[in-house]
């Protein structure tokens, strides 16, 4: 009986792991997910940008919070491009993504590394370092959108 329970538990865990990897009901669900992640990325990026441009007062602690958030959300959109059934669904993703998925993934990986570098720069509190790391981080958006996102 004990063994049976154990087997049942393992089976449940295994299926939970599988559904975590394919947690989208359909393509639209995946598009909603990745667009939500990009919305979070846009807001957090925009706030740091405005502080660095002097549009709002520079606040090292807020930069830190924003950079922490960016490091946390930067990995989120990508699984919603690679799970089966995520390649359509009415979003702005161009077919070129799946024509050259290796390049797209390389761009996504660089974006995540640059988000971590921005987080490290934010921890230093040094505005010049933050500015440089932010410029590099920010460059990823256009580099990817120009090729892979419809306007």
If one counts every other C-beta atom within 10 angstroms of the C-beta of residue 125, the result is 12
Residues listed for the chain: 151
Least spacing, CB of residue 14 vs ligand HEC, in Å:
30
Q: Is the dihedral of CA 26, 37, 78, 20 positive or negative?
A: negative
Q: Give me the residues paired with residue 149 across strands.
A: 93
Residue 42 contacts ligand HEC per CB under 6 A: yes
Residue in 45, 48, 63, 134 binding ligand HEC, rule: CB under 6 A: 45
Residue in 33, 34, 121, 122 binding ligand HEC, rule: CB under 6 A: 34
Quote the Cα angle for 94-95-97, to 5°: 80
Residue in 27, 48, 71, 108 binding ligand HEC, rule: CB under 6 A: 108
Retrieve residue 147's tokens.
Answer: 């090729």
Residue in 7, 12, 15, 39 binding ligand HEC, rule: CB under 6 A: 39
Give contact residues for ligand HEC (rule: CB under 6 A): 31, 34-35, 38-39, 41-42, 45, 91-93, 104, 107-108, 111, 138, 140-141, 144-145, 148-149
């Amino acid at each position: 009986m004990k063994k049976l329970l154990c087997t049942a538990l393992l089976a449940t865990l295994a299926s939970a792991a599988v559904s975590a990897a394919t947690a989208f009901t359909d393509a639209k669900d995946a598009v909603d997910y990745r667009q939500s992640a990009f919305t979070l990325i846009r807001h957090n990026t925009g706030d740091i940008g405005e502080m660095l441009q002097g549009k709002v007062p520079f606040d090292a602690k807020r930069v830190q919070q924003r950079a922490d958030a960016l490091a946390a959300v930067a990995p989120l959109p990508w699984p919603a491009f690679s799970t089966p059934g995520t390649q359509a669904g009415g979003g702005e993703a161009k077919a070129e993504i799946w024509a050259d998925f290796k390049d797209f993934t390389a761009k996504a990986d660089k974006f995540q590394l640059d988000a971590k570098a921005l987080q490290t720069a934010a921890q230093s509190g040094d505005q010049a370092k933050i500015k440089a790391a932010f410029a590099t981080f920010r460059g990823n958006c256009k580099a990817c959108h120009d090729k892979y996102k419809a306007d």
